[in-house]
C-alpha cells in the first residue's frame, strides 16, 4: 500500500482528556505498528500518560470515552511519554495513521511543556488522518455518504461496526485500521493523495506561493479557496475565502492534516454541486488589499509561544530539553519569568526528585489554588452532563457520579 516495500504504518488513536489547545492533556494513546500490507508487527497496546495533580480533565471527554477516573494518575509522566512517542514517530519509512489529527496535535502541547521542539508530527514520512480522508471522500469520492465526527459512527456507515464499546480502546483501534483499509479500497486516488510524504506536501505549497496559485482547502466539511502567502515551519499564512465569500487573512496549522489540493480538483460539476461562485472568489483573492489584517486568533499556540521569546530565551529553552533531568536545579539562569515558571512546572510534573522541600511545598500550594479555581467549572460541566442523560440511563448516571466523586475527593 505504500510506495516502498519496507514502509510501515503506525496506527495511533489519541485518548483525549481535554479539548485541543495549549493545555491539552491525554489519557494516553492506543497504538499498533503494521507492515505495508497491514500485517501487525507489534502488539496492540495502550501507552498511558499520568495526569499531574495540577490539571483536571474534562468531564465530557471522560464520559464520552468512558475513561476510568481511578486510573488517571497511572501511566508514565509526560516527559517519558513524549520521548517514547518521539522514538516511535522518528522514522522516514513510517506513515502514522490516526483519527482526528486535532487530538493527536496534543503531542505538540506536551512537547512544549517538556522543552521539546513541537515537531513530532513532522518526523514520520507522513501523517494520515482518517477523519480528513472520510470528509474528502464524502465530497469528492465515488460513494455518496455523510462523514461523521465520531470513529464508531463512521464504522457503522460502512458496516464495520461489531458492537465495539467506547471504553474498549483496542477494539476502536482495530476499527481505525478497518476504516483505513476501506478508504484505500474504495477511494484509492484520494488515499494516495493524502498519503504523500510530508516534504512533498510542503514543497507543493512552496511552489504555489512562488507561482501565486490559489488552492482548495477542506476544513472538516467546509470548502475554502486559499491563496498561500508565506510558510513558516508548518504554519501556512494565506488569504482565504469560503463559500459565503468571506475574505480573510489566516494562519493555517498544517499539523491538522487538512486536505490542500490544486484548484483543478473543482471540476465544473463539483463547483455547481458545492454552489461556489468560483470566479468571484478568485477575483476577491487576487485583488485582496495588501494591508488586510491577519486574524491573530488563527495563529497556532505553538507559534504564539515562540513568538514571545527572545533569542536568549530560545537558547535557554533548547538547552533545557537537552539536559539530563537529574541536572535540573532551582533558579536556573533565565531572565524570562514565563520560562522560569515553565521550568518549575516541568520539574514538578515529571521530576519531583529534583525539587527542594521549599519548592515541593510551593507546588502543593499551587495545586490547591489551581483546583479551587478549576473545580467549579469541572462540577458544572459534570452536572450538565447528568441533566442531559436519558431518564433511565442508570449506567450513564453511575459513570457521572464516579466523575464527580473523583473531583470531590481531590
- Each residue of 83-119: pLDDT tens digit? 999 999 999 999 999 999 999 999 999 999 999 999 9
Q: How far apart are CA 363 and CA 354, in angstroms?
A: 13
Q: Which residues have C-beta within 8 Å of that of residue 340, sequence separation ≥ 6?
A: 334
User: How far is residue 373's CA from residue 80's CA, in Å, rounded to a whole number?
Assistant: 28
Confidence of residue 335 (pLDDT cuts 50, 70, 90): confident
Task: Name the CATH superfamily housing domain 8-193.
Answer: Ribonuclease H-like superfamily/Ribonuclease H (3.30.420.10)
Asked whether the predicted pLDDT for residue 1 surpasses 70, the reply is no
Q: Assign 126 to helix, strand or coil.
A: strand
Q: Give residue 333's pLDDT band: very low, low, confident or very high (50, 70, 90).
A: confident
The C-alpha cell that represents 137 in the structure block: 471522500
Contact (CB, 8 A) for 56 and 375: yes
| Helix 130-140, helix 169-186: angle, nearest 10 | 40
pLDDT above 80: residue 5: no
Contact yes or no for 184/191 (Cβ under 8 A): yes
Given a cut of 70, is residue 131 above it in pLDDT? yes
Average pLDDT, rounded, for the chain: 94
Q: Is residue 223 pLDDT above 60, yes or no?
A: yes
Q: What is the pLDDT of residue 6?
A: 66
Average pLDDT, stretch 15-31?
A: 97
Relative orientation angle of helices 357-387 and 337-350, to the nearest 10 degrees? 80
Residue 398 Cα to chain centre, angstroms: 30
CA of residue 325 relative to chain centroid, distance: 27
Boundaries of every domain in the chain: 8-193, 197-301, 308-355, 358-408
Confidence of residue 391 (pLDDT cuts 50, 70, 90): confident
Q: What was the pLDDT predicted at 222?
A: 92
Of 151-160, 196-205, 305-314, 322-331, minimum mean pLDDT range:
322-331
Residues 6+ apart with CB under 8 A from 303: 232, 233, 235, 251, 253
What's the rounded mean pLDDT across residues 14-41?
Answer: 96
DSSP SS3 for 113: helix
Amino acid at each position: 500500500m505504500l510506495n516502498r516495500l519496507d514502509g510501515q504504518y503506525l496506527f495511533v488513536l489519541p485518548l483525549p482528556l481535554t479539548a485541543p489547545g495549549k493545555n491539552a492533556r491525554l489519557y494516553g494513546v492506543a497504538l499498533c505498528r503494521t507492515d505495508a500490507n497491514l500485517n501487525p508487527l507489534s502488539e496492540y497496546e495502550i501507552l498511558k500518560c499520568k495526569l499531574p495533580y495540577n490539571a483536571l480533565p474534562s468531564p465530557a471527554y471522560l464520559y464520552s470515552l468512558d475513561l476510568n477516573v481511578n486510573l488517571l494518575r497511572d501511566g508514565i509522566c509526560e516527559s517519558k511519554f513524549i520521548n517514547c512517542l518521539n522514538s516511535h514517530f522518528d522514522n522516514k519509512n513510517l506513515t502514522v495513521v490516526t483519527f482526528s489529527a486535532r487530538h493527536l496535535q496534543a503531542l505538540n502541547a506536551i512537547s512544549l511543556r517538556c522543552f521539546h521542539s513541537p515537531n513530532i508530527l513532522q518526523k514520520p514520512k507522513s501523517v494520515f488522518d482518517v477523519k480528513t480522508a472520510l470528509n474528502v471522500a464524502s465530497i469528492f469520492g465515488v460513494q455518496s455518504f455523510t462523514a461523521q465526527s465520531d470513529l464508531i459512527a463512521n464504522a457503522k456507515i460502512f458496516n464495520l461496526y461489531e458492537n465495539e464499546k467506547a471504553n474498549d480502546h483496542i477494539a476502536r483501534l482495530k476499527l481505525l485500521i478497518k476504516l483505513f483499509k476501506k478508504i484505500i479500497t474504495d477511494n484509492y486516488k484520494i488515499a494516495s493523495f493524502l498519503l504523500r510524504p510530508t516534504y512533498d506536501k510542503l514543497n507543493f505549497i512552496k511552489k504555489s506561493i512562488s507561482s501565486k496559485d490559489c488552492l482548495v482547502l477542506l476544513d472538516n466539511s467546509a470548502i475554502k479557496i486559499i491563496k498561500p502567502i508565506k510558510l513558516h515551519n508548518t504554519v501556512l499564512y494565506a488569504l482565504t475565502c469560503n463559500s459565503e465569500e468571506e475574505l480573510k487573512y489566516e494562519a493555517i496549522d498544517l499539523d491538522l492534516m487538512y486536505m490542500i489540493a490544486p484548484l483543478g480538483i473543482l471540476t465544473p460539476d463539483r463547483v455547481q454541486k458545492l454552489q461556489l461562485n468560483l470566479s468571484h472568489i478568485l477575483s476577491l483573492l487576487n485583488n485582496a488589499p495588501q494591508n488586510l489584517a491577519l486574524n491573530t486568533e488563527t495563529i497556532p499556540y505553538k507559534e504564539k509561544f515562540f513568538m514571545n521569546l527572545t533569542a536568549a530565551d530560545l537558547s535557554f529553552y533548547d538547552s533545557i530539553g537537552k539536559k539530563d533531568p537529574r541536572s535540573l536545579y532551582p533558579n536556573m539562569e533565565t531572565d524570562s519569568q514565563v520560562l522560569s515558571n515553565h521550568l518549575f512546572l516541568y520539574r514538578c510534573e515529571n521530576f519531583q526528585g529534583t525539587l527542594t522541600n521549599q519548592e515541593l511545598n510551593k507546588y502543593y500550594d499551587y495545586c490547591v489554588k489551581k483546583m479551587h479555581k478549576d473545580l467549579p467549572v469541572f462540577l458544572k460541566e459534570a452536572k450538565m452532563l447528568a441533566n442531559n442523560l436519558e431518564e433511565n440511563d442508570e449506567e450513564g448516571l453511575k459513570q457521572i457520579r464516579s466523575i464527580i466523586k473523583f473531583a470531590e475527593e481531590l
